[in-house]
Each structure stands twice: as C-alpha cells, then as structure tokens.
C-alpha cells in the first residue's frame, strides 16, 4: 500500500476539488444539502444507475416532499412510487426510518455518521454520505466508487468482498478527506469512480488525478480493486398461475415472510415446495399441474384447469436467487369465491394501478406476447 505525505494529500485535495468544481455532475439532489434529499438519493442509488434514479427521485420527492409525508404514506403508494427500482426492502426501510425520525427524534436529524447509523436501513456508507454532505462532518463515504478509486490510487490489495476491509479503507481515507469540504470531497470521489476510474473501460490516462494514481503509473489498473467472486444466485424454479375469471385475474399480495413484501403478483408456487407437499416418483410438468389443481380444489375450494404456456420460463435474477417462472393459465367460466384463498380478483384494467414487482411485469409481458396483446392495458 502506498503512503502519502501531508503535502501529497494537500495536492490531491486541491486537484480533485478543482476538477469537481468544474466538471461535477449536476444532479437534482445536489442542488441543496437537505439531508432528506441526500438520504433518499443515496438509498435509491444503491445497486441502481444514476440515469435510472433521476426520474424516480423527482417523482418520489413530488409524492413525498418531506420526511413527515413519507412517514405517513400508505404502503401501497410508497411501493408504487418505488416500483421498478428493485431491492424493495429499501423502500420499506426508508419509511421505517422516516417514522423513527418523526416519532423518536421529533423531526430532528442526527448530525453525525454514528448517530445516523441508528436509523433503519442506513449503513456506514450512507451515514458517511449524509453526515459529510448535509452536516459537514469530516468522514469518508466508502462505497464501490471509493473502494475502486482508492485501491488504485494507493495500491490497496485487501479483498473488498470481506466485511472487515471496509474498516481498512475508512482508516486510510479518513486523513485524506478535505476538512473544509468533506461533502464535496466524497461527491468528487463518486464522480471520479463513475467517469475516469470506472470498473470497466476506465480512462486513467485522462483522469484529473492521474499523477496520484499508483496503479496507472505501474500499469496495474485492472488488478484493482481486489474482490473475490460472489457465489452464483441459487436457481429457484416457480410456477406462475394466470387464473382468469369474469371478475378479472387472481392476484395475491406478498406477505412479510416473502421476498417482494407488499407487492402484488399472480400466484407464484415454488416447484420444490409443491413436490414436497405432493411427492411422486418422477415429477413432471403433468404431475405438477395435477398436484396444483388438486391443491387449489381441496385446500382453497378453487377448481381450476391449468394449461402450460409454451416457451421458456420467465427469468428474473435477484442478488441471491435466480427465479425461473413457468407460466400456467386457467380460464374460468364463472367467478369462484375466494373465502379460503388469500387473494382477490382484479379486473385487467386495474392491475397496473397496483404495486407490481419487475417479475410480475415480465410475466404479463410474456402472456401478452403469447397471443393476448390487450390483456393488461396501461393506465
């Protein structure tokens, strides 16, 4: 690891901030230092590209302009505003933290990274970003950009996939953060990591801090940061049931024990759980369909006749799981009661008004492309 002198640190700060003042991105959440704006933007930017976030951020602020508005929002409205951003627990944690701020902190924000970390869903990076940008605390904000930038500048070869490595980077970066402009410093590092020092196709030769970039000087840019590969997402085969009656389509709301809590989907059945409940010697699509029909008839008093939709399953990947959803359809002549089934019949024209996860959107698109082009009109 490289060690910088006090003079080098001063030169780096001056060079970095001069570039940022000239070339820093004009983003809607940077137009003031309001902690609510910084917080929401940083949560949205986790796992999501800036250009994707901008319209979501602007709509979110128009819908929930204050912490109090967010704290008091209906869950359906919150999830609808977040629909399409993915990683849906972020939205629920935002509201829980907003409720903390209103109820426990009387609307007053903690002004330090340590205090902010007590709020639901705020980790070390987000706490550092809010504290430095909104309140001027001299702390680093260590995210993927900071890992990448400083590992290359200083040849830090610790594995960033290991949780303990964050502490190493925080300790190294802390004395480099500009004490007069810590928020601008951290935002400049974000912009540097998103432009000249990207993960792929970086351009260190034209970087404003190339003279401080040890990895560039030694032609080792591609070696940093060091990161062991994460395990591949676990394959999760599902059946997706598209059940239609004169009253509409059968929809269920995901509960608190499931991924996508609060969002609405067609009934989704994990194939392995179905086969465990109704074991056969050699499970096939036909035996699974028979088991589903029996389960719905016996357990839910819902007699349905299912037919498989042709083509490949709908695929959607989450961080730790890769869902493959085989679609089955049932067209009912009458509308059975849902007394024993935790769902509701939703007219086709009203489905898109519900909060829908991306996998549900994909299922609907596949169904439409399979000969039902007008099945789910857009609002």
Catalytic residues: 42
In 3D, which of 92, 37, 122, 121 has the Cα closest to residue 355?
92
Cis peptide leading into residue 123 (ω within 30°): no
Cα 102 from Cα 221, distance rounded (Å) = 46
Q: What would you report as the CA-atom Rg of the chain, rounded to the nearest whole angstrom?
A: 25
**Count of C-beta atoms within a 10 Å radius of residue 116:** 25
CA of 162: how far to CAs of 150, 167, 228, in Å?
16, 10, 9
Contacts of residue 269, Cβ cutoff 8 Å, sequence gap at least 6: 238, 239, 241, 292
Angle CA(287)–CA(293)–CA(295) in degrees, nearest 5?
100
Q: CA nearest 287: which of 303, 308, 267? A: 308
Cα–Cα–Cα angle for 217, 221, 226, rounded to 5 degrees: 130
Using DSSP bridges, classify how beta strands 344-346 and 321-331 pair: parallel, antiparallel or unpaired: unpaired
DSSP-based three-state secondary structure for 129: helix
CA–CA distance, 325 with 236 (Å, rounded to integer): 8
Give all strands (DSSP E) within the chain, no chain letters. 234-245, 248-253, 264-265, 268-270, 307-308, 314-317, 321-331, 344-346
Nearest to 208 by CA among 222, 183, 191: 191
């Amino acid at each position: 690891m490289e060690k910088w002198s006090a003079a080098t640190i001063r030169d780096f700060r001056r060079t970095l901030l001069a570039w940022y003042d000239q070339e820093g991105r004009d983003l809607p959440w940077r137009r003031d230092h309001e902690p609510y704006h910084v917080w929401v933007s940083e949560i949205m930017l986790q796992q999501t590209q800036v250009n994707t976030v901008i319209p979501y951020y602007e709509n979110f602020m128009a819908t929930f302009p204050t912490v109090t508005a967010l704290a008091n929002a209906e869950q359906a409205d919150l999830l609808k505003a977040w629909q399409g951003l993915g990683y849906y627990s972020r939205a629920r944690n935002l509201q829980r933290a907003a409720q903390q701020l209103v109820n426990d902190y009387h609307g007053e924000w903690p002004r330090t990274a340590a205090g902010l970390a007590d709020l639901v869903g705020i980790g070390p990076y987000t706490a550092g970003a809010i504290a430095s940008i909104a309140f001027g605390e001299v702390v680093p904000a260590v995210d993927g950009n900071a890992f990448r930038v400083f590992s290359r500048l200083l040849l830090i070869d610790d594995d960033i996939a290991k949780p303990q490595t964050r502490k190493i980077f925080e300790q190294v970066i802390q004395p480099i953060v500009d004490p007069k402009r810590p928020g601008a410093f951290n935002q400049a590092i974000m912009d540097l990591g998103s432009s000249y020092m990207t993960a792929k196709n970086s351009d260190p030769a034209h970087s404003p801090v190339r003279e401080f970039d040890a990895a560039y000087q030694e032609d080792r840019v591609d070696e940093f940061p060091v990161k062991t590969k994460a395990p591949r997402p676990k394959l999760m085969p599902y059946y997706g049931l598209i059940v239609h009656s004169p009253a509409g389509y059968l929809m269920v709301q995901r509960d608190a024990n499931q991924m996508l809590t609060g969002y609405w989907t067609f009934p989704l059945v994990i194939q392995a759980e179905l086969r465990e409940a109704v074991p056969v010697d050699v499970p096939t699509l036909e035996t699974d369909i028979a088991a589903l029909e029996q389960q719905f008839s016996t357990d839910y008093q819902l007699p349905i006749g299912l037919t498989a939709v042709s083509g490949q399953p709908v695929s959607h990947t989450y961080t730790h799981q890769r869902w493959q959803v085989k679609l089955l359809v049932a067209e009912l002549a009458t509308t059975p009661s849902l007394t024993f089934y935790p769902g509701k019949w939703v007219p086709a024209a009203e489905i898109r008004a519900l909060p829908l996860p991306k996998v549900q959107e994909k299922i609907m698109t596949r169904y439409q492309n399979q000969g039902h082009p007008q099945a789910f009109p857009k609002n």
